[in-house]
Structure 1
């Protein structure tokens, strides 16, 4: 059986405590009591009540200060606060601004009190249910993607051995088939790794290994690795990278992922013309811009561009996670990412990282 909801009443007047406790206990609630703010905060920490009924005017620490302290504890689950006040509207407004969820005036009427208590408890339970579903979903996807990596990595190694002839000679048709299988397997492995990283960032469990980074050198490395794609499509890949730039503090592999994604997207969506990459210092930031002469991004798509699984209305293959993950990574580095689009075509993504 589900245990009864635990309510904490905080009031410095014994008669008020007795009245409210009697009303609540008759409804089957478990009741805790405190006669001052300090004791109330200790009980909130140790007993984690489902609801706090809090008198506003108390000697020493009043209800406003208790409310402020409870809301300042970020590690606490959501606990609704019902203010009990004998004063005017201004008093209630101040309490609500500090983080209280509802208020009731003295003298307290039993029916009104119980109605407000039930309403706030429904709110708490709905929030708990939502958070629990979100945690279960994240755990499921995280475990699923983690478990998928094992057979994909094993398949990649086995395909590599076959291609190298470790298990005997293979004919040219079989070699070509293995190359297709290997590329498909790598694409799937990349997608799984990307999805796993997305959930790590969302769960706050992703740890950045920050070191001083030469952004100009890092971007130049990405450009050189992707230049064959530009040559295959007859695109001009132009760079304007400043030298002697101050370093930024960041995770090299994660930033490498960002620039690979942004420059790779520019090359993927540009069929003719050029892609230009620039790196320069702007004030206290290093600005990295990637502009292209592609079709641009329709205005209707721009508000959703950095949301996950948003691929737009193009016909290119992708997971819809690249820009979403890039935004997470840049933000985790204390930076920002923005988009500017031309009137007719072309787009420019800019990343700003603090020096």
Structure 2
């Protein structure tokens, strides 16, 4: 602990020293610039900017150059500063990149800097793809192609097509993306385009599929650079960087080929490069490769140790899709080691997180749609304001033509405006209702997708494992899990059919006189068979009473309430019965279970609502019960205190 505190103090001291040194250097620079003529100031700042493009003061020099260039109205140096600032914001703040792109575009067009303009437009497209704003991507790609075609800049067209291929990969159109990349690469090779441009494209292809063909091209590029004595392809990519990429992708390729010897060879080459050139390979990527290698050669303990680290790191970084892949590999390793239960648990955890990610993604997309809807509303309001302004100008012009014409036109315009307003109001209400219905339908389908997939995943997963499991107790446990999920799926389908019938008003009711004492005893007999060991089912003494109702639907409501009480009561009792008053009859179900938080009482009758993620069922029972009670002419109430239990009441008029 003491050593750790000393180390932290040392780091803070070093940061403070570096910050003071940077501040002193900037003060010295400002003093130096005061003594220089205007033209020399720009030259000096430009030199410092490109000498320190990887330094912590890089952005400061770019801002100083931009300020001085704007003061002197020098578009050349203004363009240099803007290019550096946009490169800085490319991976940090895409909105700031677009802000400066609007300033830079007219400058680059005026000074014929088409290469730089195409480059930053390409950066912008990549940020749009990464942000998920797909509706703007195609428009920006076409804009970049039009610009490059207008100035006969073929590499600009390649940049646009490469960004389009990346977009295809992002939305799952892998074949289209690979085909487009191969077409671009062939054209580059025919024209003899620079090696660094071809390297970017090869890297994009290798990220999608490891092929010997692409590795051979990358290896050939490296060997040609060595023959020609080239050690630096551009400011960011040296020859060792290309070698590092080659060995990373090669290791991935030979893992896919299940060749442990060549996999190990390339992993060792990576270590040698790091030591020789003091390089850092991204640790997550390397850990993935070593994990696959140890799994390949049967060193499962080492693979599991890496998996433990990867799971924690991926969870901290919210990379849940990669977390799911790692957990699937863990399940596979446990299965190979003969640990069936651990394998099944890992498989189940993977599927639970997978379903949660899908649901989270859906709600994220839904939020984006809502945001876009608000933006569309604002645009509509803006257009309405513009239209109103146009009408005002038209009225002013008519007023100059004479009072009589003005009165006539105002009368006509007033009538048209009133008619249009009424039509627009009706259209707006209809549109909002349609959008609300569409959103409700989307939310319902998303919930159904999640709820059906959860038991299906368990059935499919354990059905595959049970066929290969030899231990009879484990097979029985798996069979029990499959049976429970079958019953859950069956209840879900029945509940959804009931909901559908209720909403379409096709649910039929058969009203007859019912002896409530006999009905309650029948329900007690059925429910008592489902009771857990530590919970007692009590039927209160009820007065003899004949009630005119639908026996099946009333039984369904009370059974749903009792089943819900069983889920949330682990000890104590569940009491039910009815009381008859002068003008109403009240059925009740009281339990000593978990209770319901006060802030959740209003939500318990909504669809797909479950108080915890671990509660069995799909959350439709109470919603169906309330709808049935309403159809039968009654109402439902609930009283609850968390930790003490709940009471659900069903009240009908007599």
TM interval, shorter chain, is: 0.5 to 0.7
* Residues 60-107 of structure 1: per-residue CA shift (max 9 Å, x gap): xxxxxxxxxxxxxxxxxxxxxxxxxxxxxxxxxxxxxxxxxxxxxxxx
Q: SS at 2:578's partner residue?
A: strand
1:116 to 418, 438, 447: 418
Using a 3 Å threshold, how does the CA distance of structure 1 residues 310 and 136 change in structure 2: closer, same or farther? closer
Which structure dedicates a bigger proportion of its chain to helix?
2
1:223 & 1:264 partners in 2: Cα distance? 12
1:277: Cα distance to partner?
0.8
In 2, the alpha carbon distance for the partners of 1:345 and 1:172 equals: 37
Is the 8 Å Cα contact of residues 629 and 635 (structure 2) preserved in structure 1? yes
Unaligned runs of 5+ in 2: 1-409, 456-471
Displacement of 1:194 in angstroms is 0.5
Work out which of the residue numbers 336, 343, 349 in structure 1 matches 2:635. 336
- 1:140 offset after TM fit, Å? 12
Superposed CA deviations along residues 225-249 of structure 1, whole A, max 9, x for unmatched, are 121332x331121111414212232
TM-score normalized by the length of structure 2: 0.31
SS at 2:540's partner residue?
strand
Give the Cα–Cα distance (whole angstroms) in 2 for the partners of residues 188 and 126 of structure 1.
40
Equivalents in 1 of 2:567, 2:596: separation in Å? 13
CA contact (8 A) 2:598 2:641 kept: no
Q: Is the 8 A contact 1:280 1:287 kept in 2?
A: yes
Residue 506 (structure 2) aligns with: 205
Cα 1:135–1:329 change in 2 (3 A) is farther
The 2-side partners of 1:139 and 1:200 are apart by 19
Corresponding position: 1:196 with 2:497 = yes
- Larger C-alpha radius of gyration, 1 or 2? 2
Kindly state the Cα deviation for residue 333 of structure 1 after the two structures are TM-superposed. Answer: 0.5
1:247 aligns to what SS in structure 2? strand
Instruction: Give how far 1:215 is off.
Output: 3.1
Contact 2:637–2:649, Cα closer than 8 Å, also in 1: yes
Cα gap change, 1:207/1:272 in structure 2, threshold over 3 Å: closer, same or farther? same
Q: Residue 298 of structure 1: CA displacement? A: 0.6
2:482 counterpart of 1:181 = yes
After superposition, the Cα gap between the structure-2 partners of 1:175 and 1:272, relative to the gap in structure 1 and judged at 3 Å, is closer
**1:320: how far off?**
1.6
Aligned-residue offset at 1:300: 0.5
Q: Which moved more, 1:173-182 or 1:198-207?
A: 173-182
Counterpart for residue 242 of structure 1 = 542
2:606 corresponding residue in structure 1: 307
Q: 1:209 to 1:128 in 2, by over 3 A?
A: farther
Q: Offset at 1:190?
A: 1.2
Q: 1:335 to 1:125 in 2, by over 3 A?
A: same
Give unpaired runs (5+ residues) of structure 1.
1-107, 153-170
Q: State how far apart, in whole Å, the 2-side matches of 1:111 and 1:237 are.
A: 74
Aligned pair 1:279/2:578, yes or no?
yes
User: How big is each residue's C-alpha offset from its partner over 1:113-138, in whole Å with a ceiling of 9 and x where there is no partner?
Assistant: 32232232223223434555638976
* 3-state SS of paired residue (2:553): helix
Given the two structures, how large is their TM-score scaled by the length of structure 1? 0.54
In structure 2, how many angstroms separate the alpha carbons of the residues matched to 1:326 and 1:111? 55
SS at match of 1:275: strand
Higher relative contact order (CA 8 A, sep 6+): 1
Contact 1:213-1:248 within 8 A present in 2 as well: yes
What's the C-alpha RMSD, in Å, of the aligned pairs?
3.5
Closer, same or farther: CA 128–216 of 1 in aligned 2, 3 Å: farther
User: Which protein has the bigger strand share?
Assistant: 1
Contact 1:240 1:277 in 2 (8 A): yes
**Contact 2:610–2:618 (8 Å) recurs in 1:** yes
Q: Cα distance 1:249–1:315, how it changes in 2: closer, same or farther (>3 A)? A: same
Distance in 2, Cα, partners of 1:135 & 1:211: 39
How far apart, CA to CA, are the structure 2 residues paired with 1:241 and 1:129? 55
Could you tell me which residue of structure 2 aligns to residue 81 of structure 1?
A: none
Q: For 1:190 and 1:353, locate their aligned partners in 2 and report how far apart those are by CA, in whole Å.
A: 27
Map of 1:14 onto structure 2: none
Cα distance change on mapping 1:123 and 1:213 into 2, 3 Å: farther
**Change beyond 3 A, Cα 1:319–1:333:** same
CA distance in 2, matches of 1:186, 1:327: 23
How big is the shift at 1:178? 5.0
Q: 1:130 to 1:215 in 2, by over 3 A?
A: farther
Q: 2:509 & 2:443 partners in 1: Cα distance?
A: 24
Deviation at 1:284, TM superposition (A): 2.7
- Contact 1:341/1:347 (8 A) holds in 2: yes
Separation in structure 2 between the aligned mates of residue 135 and residue 253 of structure 1, nearest angstrom? 33
- Give CA deviations for 1:241-299 in whole Å, capped at 9, x if unaligned: 4142122322x222222111101111210111111112221223221111111121111
Q: How many residues align?
A: 224
Q: Helix, strand or coil: the match of 1:233? A: coil
Among 615, 627, 641, the residue aligned to 1:316:
615
Distance change in 2, residues 1:181/1:344 (3 Å): closer
Following the alignment from structure 1 to structure 2, what is the Cα–Cα distance between the partners of residues 109 and 352? 59
